Amino acid sequence: MKKKTLVIGASLKKDRYSYKAIKMLRSFGHPVEAIGVKEGNIEDIYIYTEKIMFKDIHTISLYLSSIHQAEYFDYIIYLKPQRLIFNPGSENPELYRLAREANIQIIMDCTLMMLQFGTF
């Protein structure tokens, strides 16, 4: 099943894990949306700098450290994804609690590894 995924913390820098995740998600056929600090494209994926009210987001893959997440709490809950992946470095107990209260599955893993091992 293809899972529409929103990458929050997307980067145009090729050495960043969020960049690699967008490329790999696309290579596995998953529809991707992206939000980052700088606008631009990774192939056909446009990186927005504003919180767009995307429809039917199945998964959010988070690439922001906890100190930069607070402004996204309400947005993440509003989008009602089925799951929220906390990639290494994005751990945040406060957001875990909010997600659980909203019945959003919490996954503490690496999107790249999940794709490679077939657990995405």
Q: Which domains does the chain have, with CATH numbers?
A: 5-116 (3.40.50.720)
List residues bridging with 16 in a β-sheet.
none
Q: Which alpha helices (DSSP H) does 2-118 contain, by range?
A: 17-27, 73-79, 93-101, 111-116
Q: Are 81 and 59 in contact (CB under 8 A)?
A: yes
| Residue pLDDT tens, the chain, 120 long | 899 999 999 999 999 999 999 999 999 999 999 999 999 999 999 999 999 999 999 999 999 999 999 999 999 999 999 999 999 999 999 999 999 999 999 999 999 999 999 999
DSSP 12: S
Q: Which pTM does this prediction carry?
A: 0.97
